[in-house]
Chains A and B, each alone.
Chain A
Amino acid sequence: MSGSMTFVPDTSGRAWLTVGLLLLLLAGCGPAEVVVKGDFPSPTMEKLPLTIGIWYEPAFANHEFFDEAKSKSDSSWLVKTGEAQVQMWDTLLTGMFERVVPMKGLPGPGQMNPSVDAVLIPRVAELQYAIPAHTNVKVYEIWIRYSLQLVTTGGDPIASWTMPAYGKTPTAFLQTDQGAVNLAAVMALRDAGANFATSFSKAPGVQAWMQTMLGNDQEVNL
């Protein structure tokens, strides 16, 4: 006598409900996660007649900020800004410079990279956030401090400076904490773009380099 036994998984509504509830409970244990998403407009400005290279280090392109809960009543936060950072900087630089070329690797001796006038390397030096639960003020805020480096394709430094960016959004009716943090981050990224676009030529070392590249008689006014 031969026979076979088939295992039929229990797909009844009750089982799915249990799984769903368990997943919901587990999800409640994780940190509040925000993957920053937004639209960044192209800048309206006279393009600088320069070919600029851009190198995003993996830490920048995948930048995320994790803040562990200080107490049981708090929740941990994970804010992923990397994708939005790259999107904003790509849009900004394309509108600011005549040509923007992504680099294949960190500029330096022996590194094969396309020929450009200079390479910009943005880094997030610091990111802080505040939500109403922390401050009792009905505002969501994000501060970012960038460390910016302008180097030659050979990796020689041209200029190095820091740049702050700030974004805030008031408590909005029917908006989740995550939604408000995302909006504050988008505002901070817009502010970073505005700050960079209007202060690039005034950064220490950049003015002299631009005069060398564009000629002493060319006035650089952004």
Chain B
Amino acid sequence: MILRNFLRHFPRIHSRYLARALALASIGIVSGCVTSTIDQMVFNEPREGIGNSTVVILGRRHASDYDTEPDFVECVGDHISSGDSSIEVIGELEFINEFYPWFEPRTAPLQVADLERMMTNQPVVAEKLAALRTQYMVWIDGSTVQTDSGGSMTCAIGPGGGGCFGFGTWSNDANYEATIWDFSESAEVGRISSTATGQSYMPAVVIPIPIIAPVQGTACDGIGDQLLQFLSSRY
């Protein structure tokens, strides 16, 4: 009923509500920020970058309750490539298909020793890795989850038009850890963790205005920056 009256008087109150929506949006922009923490522990950092070697970034998907999002893995790869175009990052799907069935959730090596064993038992895997000049393998483990949400929103459509009214809010937590394996050393040479938390808002006065906190993007930038520092000679 309230919404019907609202839609009937929409032209009159349009400008007033629009101003309020903009005010709410601006409050949201101020509040919709992200808190991020980065921890890193690396050894044997290459002094002059990785040269003409390649790096592959893979997501862990062996846990039953979450999967590392392919989008996140791609985001980190893109961040590295855009930060230093001389670093060749092999695409995750391309790599997994090329080495099927050795990097599937069921079979992916969890330790460097498992990879060594795989290469000993399957020389063809070792040959392909050598052909790709892969020196570093980065495993990303984690996910972004929605932790809580609140508010309510009602949408309706009538002969004169439609619209929404209400307010919604939710928060997201991103928690990722990148583990770096060095093939030349046959060892794990670093761990980088990134956590980010942010609150998103969606006020709606006729038109819903999503004010999204870029939680996953912030975590991606955090891990990407640290990996660039490790892999690139320019950073």
Contact = CB atoms under 8 A, between A and B. Distances in A.
Interface of A: 41-46, 168, 170, 190-191, 193-195, 197-198, 221-222
B90 interface: no
Interface string B56-84: 00000000000101000000000000000
B102 interface: yes
Contact of A198 (B99, B107, B125): B107
A94 B93 CA distance: 22
Contact of A193 (B100, B121, B122, B125): B100
Nearest to B117: A221
B101 interface: yes
Contacts of B147: none
Given A170-B67, A191-B105, A195-B106, A44 B100 contact: yes
Contacts of A198: 101, 106-107
B106 A194 contact: yes
Interface of B is mostly: loop
Nearest to A40: B100
Given A168-B67, A170-B67, A194-B100, A44 B107 contact: no
Given A44-B122, A198-B106, 7 more contacts: A44-B124, A44-B128, A170-B69, A190-B100, A190-B104, A194-B101, A222-B121
Given A168-B67, A170-B67, A191-B106, A197 B121 contact: no
A41 B70 CA distance: 18
B39 interface: no
B45 interface: no
B161 interface: no
Interface of B: 67, 69, 97-102, 104-107, 121-125, 128
A44 B99 contact: yes
B122 A46 contact: yes
Closest 4 CB pairs of A and B: A194-B101, A194-B104, A41-B100, A41-B97
Contacts of A191: 104-106
Contacts of B101: 43, 45, 190, 193-194, 197-198
B102 A44 contact: yes
B124 A45 contact: yes
B98 A41 contact: yes
A158 to B, nearest CB: 23
A170 B67 CA distance: 8
7 contacts: A41-B100, A43-B100, A44-B102, A45-B124, A193-B100, A198-B101, A222-B121
Nearest to B105: A191
A191 B99 CA distance: 14
A42 B100 contact: yes
A147 B228 CA distance: 48
A137 to B, nearest CB: 9
Contacts of A221: 121
A195 B107 CA distance: 8
B73 to A, nearest CB: 14
A203 to B, nearest CB: 16
B107 A194 contact: yes
A90 to B, nearest CB: 14
